[in-house]
Amino acid sequence: SENERSSTYFILMGLFDQTKHAVFLYTLTFVLFLTALTGNTLLILLIHREPHLHTPMYFFISQLSLMDLMYICVTVPKMLVGQVTGDNTISHLGCGVQMFFYLTLTGAEFFLITAMAYDRYAAICRPLHYPLLMSQRICHLFMSGCWFLGMFDGLLLTAMTMSLPFCQFRKIRNFFCEAPALLKLSCSDISRYEMFMYLCCVLMLLIPTMIISSSYALILCLIQSMNSGKGRRKAFATCSSHMVVLMLFFGAGTYTYMLPRSYHTGEQDMMVSTFYTIITPVLNPLIYSFRNKDVTGALKNLMTSRMRLRKV
């Protein structure tokens, strides 16, 4: 029956259901999706190909690009295909899988940005000890920790969310299966779950924020005492780029997962989700690397070598 069938799937509202400019917004989203794929893939290839980019900072940036690639592919293709076909349904299992990957990548990225802040602190404030503090082994340990903590968070919150009883009305006011949107569909008392999710987010957001803020505070103090104007400008440029990403990503995460539900509306939630799911993966390669002389130099080398091969 229809009631039994409705208990096996959810309906995603999508980004364009309530607007007259659906075609324009769909095209824009598709262009942003391709831009994110191209920018992050190119950055990973450049870092892998160029030996002088085989440093801890660029290793972390390549991992960030990998996460952003996976991040946007988990949510956007399903939404774009649904817009074309008119089928906005997603199965219970599909919803759980999408939520798990999304939460895993979000959590891993929080901790990765924390590791990147520590890397900048070690490079600028402890330059003599930097090779020891950020050896290849330590970098790989950091990355293993980021992925493990992200997966633990994803598995825990997904299992708890998907085990809740949901009402017959299964219309998710978002374009992917995000935990706060699903909580609004639950028929049970979710106050304990919300408290648990809040505590998880304190660990996932506030602790990394404290570490990052401390790292950059120490860096800024050192920058102020630098005699070299050039060194001061270079250090400040690097840190300001990282701080922009921090504010964008962590600000959106704090709004979505830590503010009480009374402060949210469906439209605001969808706008914030759009921002850090679609816009952030587009901006990260620009903010972190394509403004960087090392990366632009590697890109020129790649283009020059390709042109030579064509001539031959």
Please write the tens of the pLDDT for every residue from 143-160. Answer: 999 999 999 989 998 998
E strands, 34-141, are 89-91
Are the beta carbons of 256 and 243 closer than 8 angstroms? no
Query: Sorting pLDDT into bands at 50, 70 and 90, what band is 260?
Result: low
- Residues 6-22 have a mean pLDDT of 72
Confidence (pLDDT) at 1: 39
Confidence (pLDDT) at 163: 86
- Residues 36-62 have a mean pLDDT of 90
Structure tokens given for 79: 């939404």
Q: What is the CATH number of domain 9-310?
A: 1.20.1070.10
**Ranked by mean pLDDT, which of 116-130, 137-151, 159-173, 215-229 comes out on top?**
137-151
Confidence (pLDDT) at 65: 92
Q: Does 41 score more than 90 pLDDT?
A: yes
284-309 tens-digit pLDDT: 888 776 667 777 777 777 777 767 66
CA atoms within 13 A on the CB side of 278: 23
Question: What residues pair up with 89 in beta bridges, in sequence order?
Answer: 11
80 sits in the region (left: phi over 0; alpha: psi -120 to 50; else beta) called alpha
Confidence (pLDDT) at 308: 66
Could you give the 3-state DSSP secondary structure of residue 187? Answer: coil
